[in-house]
Structure 1
């Protein structure tokens, strides 16, 4: 007997309605800030990798941690307003993928 593929479903909250005009609205502003925070996070990772001094590294790491928290807060706000959604996945598929990467890592980096 063949397994039927599990249908994925979108996970999201009820969307907060906003007026759609040519001018930026709250959703546009939040999306812009979220994208900026993501870009900053990526830039801080590069700076951390190249920091030549321990105190500099710690300062950048502190700012990176704060940026990551802001990014998560913005994501949560947008998700709660229904402006961010994602697709659910089959738990078996997730477990299978995790096992696949675990096996790969064990082969590549034996203890």
Structure 2
């Protein structure tokens, strides 16, 4: 997997890792289903789209999109305690590739 290190910021890295390790024994999929996490991701997504002049569908469902990203990257069933740095970078890359940011 090719990762663009120039786009990585410590704030984004910190945001992602905090979500993943908030309950290290839960699956990554479960960690991203908390209402506060979904609200934060949707807010950041809408801000990103606004800055990039990307329209957001009126029926946009952040929970469905996050689940799709996690399943597509095969992260849904993984646990933070078993992941290595490359896994977390891959997860961050999956989210960033879809316009989701953690800052």
TM-score, normalised to structure 1, is: 0.27
Report which of the two structures shows the higher radius of gyration computed on alpha carbons.
1
For normalisation by structure 2, the TM-score amounts to 0.29
